[in-house]
Structure 1
């Protein structure tokens, strides 16, 4: 936890900087529109995932360490080969798990968040899951275990393998010649994120495109078929916590509503998007039928609200940075309390992004809890030793965020609702 937290103190500002550079390039050089809310939602999703990973909120049914202890057949001694085998094994595992997430209803829930943006950019690379608490597919690392690759090697290579998937989430890099035959490129991954019928559920590779070519899931980006991004059942929210569990909730409702006992069981393991016939007839699905003619999710936002959301986003980044750098000092249960507070903060301000009047209730709840934590601990999670002013800043923030959210809910969102009702 502590080591990964330290890695994130370096990686997080770098990712944020690269996202902003890409946006600036698109805005000034390509004259593309700057979709700030979509970008903030994506980056905020990255917040939630990083908190989950740092806290270690997942377990593995079959641990890699156990596999190495019991199943190693031949131990590779060469340092270079150990790391190469680890990297290739992780990539094959990534391909297989990725393909299953696109193929089976239950597993799609943990991956839908990554595809939920209707834009394709570096920010959407950070839309990662918090809804997977049990790892079922460590078995796919069997090749590395048979060759005796140590767990610590996997632990080192895994973050590098993950971070190496960031760069190709962009529309600003075209085809890359010979590299198109070897590695996953932006062109390959644009296909993967597209909802065009020609592109759906293709190119599952993470670093090497060879897996898709071997297993029949490869599709080249076609010059006359521009990719359209998103998911066929639109998320229609900026709240990443809601998006993470939308598909699961949809499956639960369908399993409850169907009259077929067989369908109540098999819905979880059927191909992604499958629904019981009786439920589909009574509750038609709202899906994008024509990828070239649909309205993207974009609630109108005033400039003052946009400024405020940016403030909330950056303030949360500051709280996260303190968390990543000091998690070892927090201990249990405070590190989980802090992580929960981050989630509540994110839920509150992304509800405001959605123009949900209940954003005020979530904001008030968050700030009451914040005051209570300072009262109980005597300061903000031990910050007074290094930052004597931190608790005062946090309390001022709680007051300010309550007041500002009240203003937007009462004088913007509520008045807008009245106008719609009168119309």
Structure 2
């Protein structure tokens, strides 16, 4: 049976997240908050899903560059494996550092730093935009002469390790603090405290930070998140807010070179007023009220089903036809947008439900393309449109309860 073993990363990571949550609860540590946890997992699910379609492309790029432009013919010896791991981490350091020092790269990386929680769910906040950006840095590796097979194995290891540094349960680790990036080092990196800003960029080894002067010890309790908190759990806004801010900043400048300076300028010098302008244009100004158990339960149910669907989809990807893959992917992405919008208590989530149902009906019709299926689908569509307003009112009241405001 041809299955994708990387699908087991989903239940494996969930196990460790659940274990961390259990230990935190038992020890009275408030490391998890509902909205933050859902928002973190939403980002992680999207990355795992889209990686299904892009992982092969990344491998193709490495293999093509190696076959056509390799300067050396490097064989997989123990020494070369060690050198590859060190060089990969060295390139990550500079990608990561530029991700904090150049606006256009920060736009891709900022999603990873938005959470005001710091736990293993924060480690899942990797976007496909970020994956593409760092792949550009790693293209030098096959040109040097490392084959795509070696690169892929090292990148898997390099991708798994930092997940476990996103925790507050583990203290300092003695002599390992001098060599590896530990949870203590990475807590510093995610902190918004002034003395911790732009520190500890390493992914596996802390030696680069010590070598290039960007190391800081954890000396006081970190405060997590952005220096100017995002204040939104919207899936779409979390991904694209800084691109919007950057676009507004660029259009406000006159002259090509001034615009270019904004794109490649420093986030520390970025005009903070752009955030407010972007929010006025694209965010609802309706105040989010305290969540009810009702819609928290609905969001949890969506999350559980999405993770279940994602696992089996990834596991059996080789047996799923492309049209069905696209329909399932659309359903999952709509669910992630839906979950984030529900956390923001938006009423337009109702229309996403129609789109989600439509994507599932597309899967049904693919496997059962009969006149009966078509007639039933058309009948349901007509009924849904005829009773649209009535269904919308009932849906929103059931979802939000007393939070629902008819004119919001």
TM-score, normalised to structure 2, is 0.83
Asked if 1:319 is matched to 2:313, the reply is: no
Asked if 1:232 is matched to 2:227, the reply is: yes
- Tell me, in whole angstroms, the C-alpha distance in 1 between the residues paired with 2:184 and 2:122: 15
Please give the per-residue CA displacement for 1:380-409, whole angstroms capped at 9, x wherever unaligned: xxxxxxxxxxxxxxxxxx9xxxx9996562
Residue 54 of structure 1 deviates from its aligned partner by 1.1
Task: Confirm or deny: 8 A CA contact 1:131 1:244 kept in the other structure.
Answer: no
- Tell me, in whole angstroms, the C-alpha distance in 2 between the residues paired with 1:58 and 1:23: 34
TM-score, normalised to structure 1, is 0.80
- Tell me, in whole angstroms, the C-alpha distance in 2 between the residues paired with 1:351 and 1:106: 26
Task: Confirm or deny: 8 A CA contact 1:85 1:144 kept in the other structure.
Answer: no
- Structure 1 equivalent of residue 290 of structure 2: 300
Unaligned runs of at least 5 residues, structure 2: 280-286, 370-383, 385-389
- Structure 1 equivalent of residue 329 of structure 2: 339
Residue 36 of structure 1 deviates from its aligned partner by 2.2
- Structure 2 equivalent of residue 120 of structure 1: 118
Residue 415 of structure 1 deviates from its aligned partner by 4.4
Instruction: Say which structure is richer in helix.
Output: 2
Provide the aligned C-alpha RMSD in A. 3.4
- Tell me, in whole angstroms, the C-alpha distance in 2 between the residues paired with 1:419 and 1:332: 41
- Tell me, in whole angstroms, the C-alpha distance in 1 between the residues paired with 2:275 and 2:31: 40
Please give the per-residue CA displacement for 1:351-400, whole angstroms capped at 9, x wherever unaligned: 11221111112122222332243224428xxxxxxxxxxxxxxxxxx9xx
Residue 285 of structure 1 deviates from its aligned partner by 9.2
Q: Secondary structure at the match of 1:166?
A: helix
- Out of 184, 188, 202, the position equivalent to 2:199 is 202
Q: Secondary structure at the match of 2:163?
A: coil
- Structure 1 equivalent of residue 187 of structure 2: 190
- Structure 1 equivalent of residue 375 of structure 2: none
Please give the per-residue CA displacement for 1:319-349, whole angstroms capped at 9, x wherever unaligned: 1112102222224344233222210121112
Quickly say closer, same or farther: Cα 1:317–1:151, change in 2 above 3 A: same
Asked if 1:36 is matched to 2:31, the reply is: no
Asked if 1:21 is matched to 2:19, the reply is: yes
Residue 17 of structure 1 deviates from its aligned partner by 1.0
Q: Which deviates further from its counterpart, 122-131 or 410-419?
A: 410-419
Quickly say closer, same or farther: Cα 1:199–1:285, change in 2 above 3 A: farther
- Out of 272, 275, 281, the position equivalent to 2:267 is 272
Task: Confirm or deny: 8 A CA contact 1:187 1:221 kept in the other structure.
Answer: yes
- Tell me, in whole angstroms, the C-alpha distance in 2 between the residues paired with 1:326 and 1:282: 42
Quickly say closer, same or farther: Cα 1:283–1:261, change in 2 above 3 A: farther
Asked if 1:309 is matched to 2:296, the reply is: no
Q: Secondary structure at the match of 2:196?
A: coil
